[in-house]
Structure 1
């Protein structure tokens, strides 16, 4: 797979995670998140995959607009994705980093961190 095709795939997967329908689906999130998944949340809390699956939003339909994607290959089976998001309901911009890794032949999110951008 070319780097351009890989970049498009990783960006597509990340955008799926921002889709409100996917964010509410334990089944879909279970496929996208690695079992070893860790997230450093903007609150400072560190959560794992099970905590994410246990705390799915109910009917929240927040629009999160992603932009400024930068994909970097860290190894043959590991990719770093940096990007920004804008939350239309809170007006908050986050700078985000995601590490995607091939696990059992499938790209899964291994690590994520979101940090509030200075206004």
Structure 2
């Protein structure tokens, strides 16, 4: 497997981890995955920063599946991930984008945005 494919699998794994209930409800795990400067424009229209996610209960439980996952390397240690998510509870789809930065050897999400789609 070439390096871009390996990198794509690594970032996909991290994105999927952020959708898992045990990660989303663990401030400790979220702290490991979110950069200090984390910013999110949620599909709900809310704006979140890292501290908003680290409170008791984390960011809540979801049931979502990722598809059409792609990455683009913006710099040697900066990755843009784009994909779609199907939300099983809301029966809706969103377009997603995330920026991941490598910090001290670990990938951390620095930015995330979700946008509802019609299909």
TM-score (norm 2): 0.92
User: Which 5+ residue runs of structure 1 have no aligned equivalent?
Assistant: none
Match of 1:43? 44
Tell me, in whole angstroms, the C-alpha distance in 1 between the residues paired with 2:109 and 2:86.
Answer: 20
Asked if the contact 2:82/2:96 (under 8 Å) is kept, the reply is yes
Q: For 2:37, what is the secondary structure of its paired residue?
A: strand
Q: Distance in 1 between matches of 2:79 and 2:93?
A: 23
- The 5 A counterparts of 1:1-119 are 2-54=3-55, 56-57=58-59, 60=61, 62-119=62-119
Deviation above 3 Å: which 4+ runs of structure 1? none
Q: Distance in 2 between matches of 1:108 and 1:33?
A: 5
Unpaired stretches in structure 2, ≥5 consecutive residues? none
Give the drift of 1:56: 2.1
Note closer, same or farther for the CA distance 1:96–1:50 as it changes in structure 2 (3 Å cut): same
Alignment size in residue pairs: 117
Deviations 1:39-75 (A, max 9, x none): 01112221100001126256x4x31111110111000
